[in-house]
A and B are shown apart, each in its own frame.
Chain A
Amino acid sequence: MTWENYYMPLTTGEAIELLVEKQGKARIIAGGTDLMVQHRSDPLNVRALIDIGRIPGLKEIREDSRRIYIGASVTHSQIVNSALLKKKGRVLVEAARTVGAPQIRNVGTVGGNVVNAQPAADTAIALTALDARIHILSGDGEFEKPVIDTFLGPGKSCIDPSKELVTAFSYSIPGPGERSCFARLARRESLALPIVNLGLWLCLEEDDHILKDIRIAVGPMSTVPFRARETEALLKGVLLDKAVIEKAGRSISDEVTPRDSFRGSADFKKQMIGVILKRSLESALEGKGVDSDEREQ
């Protein structure tokens, strides 16, 4: 271990003070499920780690009159078990449920998943589909921006964990006609990174299958979580029927530009993203989740 001190502040203010004091030689640690693995192969060059797991406010899921807030150190398990999110954030619940295994979900946090900036991070894909905003605290004060704007490249986030602290994510409380769901394919049913994943949010005209609005977030289709805007445009204002759904599947396969990787060839990923978009649209119309596995993990 390379660090000398391990701090456990009780407030965000204390955490920021420590970051400022250490002048870039300290960094934030949340669940550590990514950080500790990275540290073993590529040791962290810091003097201190600041563990935010004891800051009560960062572990809350709450709503106000307009938005839902998810604290940065909320774990995947907390999301999976949140009654509020089950009702008003299905895509996020379904995404969190697919991450790792129970042990990882009990420790790994949503903030860590986003800051780690992998192009197919499941909760990052879900938050992108929800058009969520990220709330950040630094020595200079508090600010917020769209989650999607934080991703700079594989493993690269604009958030500097030696200077800044993510406090929460937020998104608009879903209104009438809004639905969301999440889908992914992996080499096995648990404890696997996705071959492809997809977060879908859509808003239907009341009593109608006409799409008022739609957001499709997919990974790993680019260096960062990717919004399939061409396919979204194709679907906006259209009556969702079988033919349109088929067309949407073909459209997204053409739109994305994945790379060959260990988990699957580019062609395979293109084909699969079409399949899971089709299934997600069908499922969203039926008002059901898309995770076809009925077993609870």
Chain B
Amino acid sequence: MLFIPMLGKEKALNKGKGEKMKFSNLGKETPILDGLEKVTGRARYVPDLKVEGMLHGRILRSPYPHARLKKVDISKAERISGVRDIITGKKVSQHKFGPMVPDWVILPDDKVRFHGDEVAAVAATSEESAAEALSLIEVEYEVLPAVFDPELAMAEEAPLLYEEKENNIATTFYVHKGDVDKALAGSEIVFEETYQTNQVYQAYMETMAAVAAPGDYERLTMWLSTQIPSMSRLRYAEALEICAEDLRIIKPHVGGGFGAKFEYKAHILAAVLARRTGSPVRMVNNREEDFRAGNPRVPMKIWIKLGLAKDGTLLAKDTRIIAGNGARTVYAPAITSTACYRIDSLYKFKNVRSTGYTVYTNTIPTSCFRGFGNAQMHFAMESALDTICHQYNLDPIKIRQQNGVTPGFTSIHGWEIKSCALKECLDKAVEESNWYDKKKEPAEKSPVKKGIGVAICNHVSGNRPFFKPFDGSSALVRLTPEGKAIVFTGEADIGQGMNTAFALIAAEAVGLDVKNVRTAAVDTDISPFGLGSFATRGTTIGGRAVYEAAVNLKKQLLEHLARVYEKKIEQITINEGQIYFDDQEDPITVAKAIQTISYTLGGTSLVGHGVFVPETVLPDENKYGNVSPAYPFGCHIAEVEVDTETGRARLLNYWAVHDVGRVINKQTLEGQVEGGVMMGAGWALGEDMVVKEGKLLNPNFHDYCLPTAMDTPRGRIYSYFLESGDPNGPFGAKGIGEPSLNPVPAAIANAVFDAVGVRVKNLPITPEKILEGLASA
């Protein structure tokens, strides 16, 4: 096998924008390759698995937000027929671990820290026995004072969740570049405001799930509903105190994640029970548990101060963020730091300062949710800019074009903006939405008023500091003697359509028909290491590795074709599964040729290997350094109507324009954008995890109001894609998952303000808040 790593070479994988490129597979509306099995119900997810001798695991969760465990008595529960094992904190190792901060244990033996915290776990031969056993575990709790609001948790008198964590502060992030105080002092416009974003739930269709099965050679196989097969393998090996090689992770179809499906306690408990009983153990959250102990969005209180010149030039940004970590650390600290400084590379700032506190409270541990802190800050920043424009009579479109980053720009944090069609995104959105005409329309006479609002966004496509050892990806593309290609990747398709994107990239790069290409399910015994689905990195970084593997495969294929058919490589062209020789009229099929080649090589498949390691760096101590190989941008314009008597805001139309570098699959891109817009609209207009004294009051889809199909815009969501052709992405492609959501709450809030003059600064924008605003106007 030939191995030609393309380490960080920024090859021109595409021609620049403006030049139309001819593609056989890209830019079309390709239905996802596993679509049929999904819509017919044949696709198998972790909860569908049935393994011989499988036990059912259940978790006993704390009914108190903060309590000392005085006694956990399992004697009655153990007597239930079918119960095979019950574990408590006393029965398991108390070593500490965790994705970012070692504040996790398998099960606590001292205290519980949130309503829903794990107290004990049962494995039984049926779900009913497991449930009955749970009800018979007798726990004596000593209820402790608890704290729920992150700001109150920082107060001197607040009860501490962890004795060693002063003021309940898990982590602090600080960055200062330029001279913010001086720049603010010299600013003609100084604006200051506080915004709040609430806690919301990712609401993936498949709840958190694992099946763990002890196997041969003392190994453990885990089927996980996860975004990070390879990373969770490392973490779970640490939790179980075993060698990672003895853990095999298989990721079948996954029913969504949106950031929630990283390391998860229930997975580890399934593994512990499986190892103790010697039997496979299934652990699947019911929906209520998933609400009460999932990994919802990090709530934030964001204070922001902006300094501008009279003409709208941004001079300084100063922010202070208090973020809710919940009762143990998942990824909130990284999310807080992202909120603190990622948006600084959307605009040409020269002076920025930001402090972010990630604070423990006796509530559900919080974590990643599409947007990763950048979405929270977009709400604050883009709302603030809108207010400034209104107060100082500046044009909200022009101020963004004037200050937005441009191609070739290096941001204040050293982020290298290679491709960027931000300005064009604004132009397109303005044109398509008829922005300026709509702005001029007189107010409606009826109680229902229309309004229009804009917000722009940036994001990353890969985030170097997320996994300290490296960023990058590798892939294999295997061409079988039957002429079919299989892509092996460790990157996790969780429903976004990434596997289809990979197949399209491989097909395009080799010259195959995509119907003969598929992407294998991730299995750590077979697949390369892949960091997983986060930071909008899959298509860009994973896809680039697939591209490199396909290029490598093609090189081998050409060499073998030249050898077997006695041609020169320059004489051979491969396109859409056909091989053309320049001295021959009729092409031959790849399938026929590869069979011939394979039979000269002992029946082997040809395997292309590709590696992509972006030239990104870990930021230095002052957070300087290019973290991502590519940066996607976008502009959203929302049109709403607001009923001034009921306070209800509804979407009328929505225009989402994104610089995606290159369109790989138009159909899944549109899906991502429409999904991102509606997910953002749900957050903006009503979704809210209502917590009282630490207890979640709406842990179900009846009371937690996700938008339905009926809540989509009365008109429609218009999506447009601009192709700036990034030098690092495969064929120039950049990511879309998170940028599709980032600007949504601000665009809607700005439209609501335009409609009725009410500025809602704390999400969600409820009828009550709008009516209150109207009453006080």
- Interface set of A (CB-CB < 8 Å, partner B): 101, 185, 187-193, 262, 264-265, 268, 271-272, 275-276, 279, 293, 295, 297
Contact = CB atoms under 8 A, between A and B. Distances in A.
Contacts of B710: 188-190, 293, 295, 297
B311 interface: no
Contact of A192 (B648, B690, B698, B705): B705
A275 B645 contact: yes
Contacts of A276: 646
Given A262-B697, A268-B768, A271-B771, A188 B702 contact: no
B434 interface: no
A283 to B, nearest CB: 13
B711 A188 contact: yes
A272 B711 contact: no
A4 to B, nearest CB: 17
A191 B708 contact: yes
A193 B768 contact: no
Nearest to B682: A188
Nearest to B707: A188
A185 B646 contact: yes
Nearest to A195: B767
Interface residues of B, number: 20
| Interface hub of A187, A192, A297 (most chain B Cβ within 10 A) | A187
Nearest to A185: B646
B707 A272 contact: no
Interface string B693-721: 00001100011011111110010000000
Contact of A190 (B698, B702, B709, B714): B709
A43 B646 CA distance: 39
Contacts of A275: 645-646
Contacts of A187: 686, 705
A18 to B, nearest CB: 28
A104 to B, nearest CB: 11
A223 B767 CA distance: 25
B652 to A, nearest CB: 13
Contact of B703 (A189, A190, A262, A272): A262
Contacts of A293: 710
Given A268-B768, A271-B771, A190 B645 contact: no
Nearest to B702: A193
A265 B767 CA distance: 12
Nearest to A272: B646
A216 to B, nearest CB: 18
Nearest to B686: A187
A190 B708 contact: yes
Nearest to A274: B645
Contacts of B697: 262
B711 A262 contact: no
A262 B768 CA distance: 13
Contacts of B771: 268, 271
B492 to A, nearest CB: 31
Interface string B163-190: 0000000000000000000000000000
Contact of B705 (A101, A188, A264): A188
Contacts of A279: 645
Interface string B636-656: 000000000110100000000
10 contacts: A188-B686, A188-B707, A188-B710, A190-B708, A262-B697, A262-B698, A268-B767, A272-B646, A275-B645, A295-B710
A6 to B, nearest CB: 20
Contacts of B690: 262
A268 B767 CA distance: 9
A191 B710 CA distance: 9
A268 to B, nearest CB: 6
Given A262-B698, A262-B703, A189 B708 contact: yes
A190 B701 CA distance: 12
Contacts of B714: 295
Interface in B758-777: 767-768, 771
A188 B703 CA distance: 11
B691 to A, nearest CB: 12
A20 to B, nearest CB: 33
Given A265-B768, A268-B768, 18 more contacts: A185-B648, A185-B767, A187-B686, A187-B705, A188-B706, A188-B707, A188-B711, A189-B711, A190-B708, A190-B709, A190-B711, A193-B702, A262-B690, A262-B697, A268-B767, A275-B646, A276-B646, A295-B714
Contacts of B686: 187-188
A188 B646 contact: no
A101 B645 contact: no
Contacts of B708: 101, 188-191
Interface in B247-292: none
A286 to B, nearest CB: 14
